């Protein structure tokens, strides 16, 4: 494959990755390449890798937009999730308190590696 055609394939793959929100198999099928080709490009072409890494935000932006739509619809799970992840500084955290009652004694066990035989 000549370099111009290869460059066109890489560009097509980047566009397909954006459309598929980063799903490699879907994007590779759209472009007509093997998934392995994409991973070879990632390993051997730093510019391609940089462009693919930048596309990760597209999928994240999409998911965030869905989250905010669910929050607007007052879907409790989405509201709770958002508060637990973004509202920690305001006290929206989940923690467990473990209370121990009873007469259980604990012991500390110290492990030492065996000395090498000479």
pLDDT tens-place string over residues 57-76: 888 899 999 999 999 999 99
Cα 91 from Cα 57, distance rounded (Å) = 28
pLDDT tens-place string over residues 79-89: 999 998 888 88
pTM, two decimal places:
0.60
Cα 74 from Cα 67, distance rounded (Å) = 11
Cα 62 from Cα 22, distance rounded (Å) = 11
pLDDT of the residue at 1? 47
């Amino acid at each position: 494959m000549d370099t111009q055609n290869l460059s066109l394939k890489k560009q097509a793959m980047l566009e397909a990755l954006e459309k598929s929100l980063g799903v490699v198999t879907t994007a590779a099928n759209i472009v007509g390449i093997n998934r392995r080709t994409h991973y070879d490009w990632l390993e051997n072409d730093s510019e391609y890798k940089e462009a693919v890494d930048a596309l990760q935000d597209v999928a994240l932006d999409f998911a965030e937009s869905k989250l905010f739509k669910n929050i607007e619809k007052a879907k409790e799970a989405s509201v709770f999730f958002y508060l637990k992840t973004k509202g920690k500084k305001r006290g929206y955290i989940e923690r467990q308190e473990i209370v121990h009652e009873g007469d259980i004694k604990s012991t500390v066990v110290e492990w030492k590696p065996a000395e090498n035989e000479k």
